[in-house]
Amino acid sequence: MKYVEHRIACQPKARIWLDSLLDTLLPWTCVVCGLGCEAGGICPVCRRHLPWYRHACRQCALPLPAGPDTLCGACLLRSPVFDAAVAPLLFHFPVNRLVHRFKFRRDLATGRILARLLADHLVARGTIAPDLLLPVPMHRLRLATRGLNPAFEVTRCCARALQLPYCAHALQRHRHTPTQTGLDAASRRRNLRGAFRWRGPNLEDKDVVLVDDVMTTGTTLSECARVLKRAGAAHVSAWVLARAAHD
């Protein structure tokens, strides 16, 4: 079974050409302020004032006052299963509005802009290229309701921008679970226990990255990472658009 899907497989040359033509012919407007801007979908002023991270826990990406090599108190007490996490933005205004527009109004253009911000951040920090990108999966019933899996769209955009392989279907959410909203950390862990499975070949000590839109407690990513490590992955990281954190 071939589990690596390169970007060209899901992005035919005709589609790439059409996207480039539309970018050239149609004027860009900033997704935050609505004013005209250059290609990229967000004007320099709004981009500068986004809630960017300065310092974060190196394992769970929780905001910290100290430098990036510091672990937060939560990770010192109970480490997540994944080994590291990257989030360029805090889940504050206007990022929360943009993510909601992407997820619940199926605004793929906004999703691509957010994914590009993530890709640019990864390039700027010199992130080592992993062996494989994997979107956090969505159960087929929820996918039928939502109409799209945001994690898959972000994965596809990042794979295209960074020239990385990805796989869409080997990591599966085979058990439908209630939404995690409103649950505490312990309840989230119970809710997701046994919800995921790996249906690809052995990962053979590979460096794997899980991709999602927002990290809240990291419970979903930890449960996915547990499945991937059982499948042979040596190192599992998380890349997310934004990190939710208490003020």
198 pLDDT more than 60: yes
Long-range contacts of the stretch 53-59 (C-beta < 8 A, 24+): 53/87, 53/88, 53/89, 53/90, 53/243, 56/87, 56/243, 57/85, 58/84, 59/83, 59/84, 59/85
132 pLDDT more than 70: yes
Determine contact, residues 30/43, Cβ cutoff 8 Å.
yes
Is the CATH number 3.90.1300.10 carried by domain 84-243?
A: no
For 119, the token pair is: 């890709």
From CA 168, how far away is CA 143, in angstroms rounded?
13
Q: What is the dihedral of CA 177, 182, 56, 93, to 10 degrees?
A: 110
**Any idea what DSSP says for residue 106?**
-
Tell me the mean pLDDT in the region 112-131: 94
Percent of the chain with pLDDT over 70: 80
Residue boundaries of the structural domains of the chain: 84-243
Tell me the mean pLDDT in the region 161-185: 80
From CA 91, how far away is CA 99, in angstroms rounded?
9
Give the pLDDT score at 11.
44
Tell me the mean pLDDT in the region 168-175: 90
Mean of all residue pLDDT scores within the chain = 85
246 pLDDT more than 80: no
Give the pLDDT score at 181.
60
CA within 13 Å, CB half, 82 = 29
136 pLDDT more than 70: yes
Q: Which residues partner with 135 through β-bridges? A: 211
| pLDDT tens digits, 42-82 | 999 999 999 998 889 999 999 888 766 689 988 999 899 99
The residues near 73 (Cβ < 8 Å, ≥ 6 apart) are: none
Q: β-pairing, 84-86 with 36-37?
A: unpaired
Give the pLDDT score at 5.
44
Give the pLDDT score at 146.
86
Helix, strand, coil share of the chain (percent; to 5): 40, 15, 45
Percent of the chain with pLDDT over 90: 60
Give the pLDDT score at 2.
40
From CA 94, how far away is CA 92, in angstroms rounded?
6
Of 174, 222, 220, the residue nearest 75 (C-alpha): 222
Give the pLDDT score at 204.
92
104 pLDDT more than 70: yes
Give the pLDDT score at 8.
36
Give the pLDDT score at 147.
87
CA 21 vs CA 18, 162, 172, 220: distances in Å: 5, 21, 35, 38
For 163, the token pair is: 């020239």
| pLDDT tens digits, 9-51 | 344 456 556 556 655 666 678 999 988 887 678 999 999 999 9
From CA 221, how far away is CA 15, in angstroms rounded?
32
Residue 197 burial by Cβ neighbours in a 10 Å radius (0-12, 13-18, 19+): middle
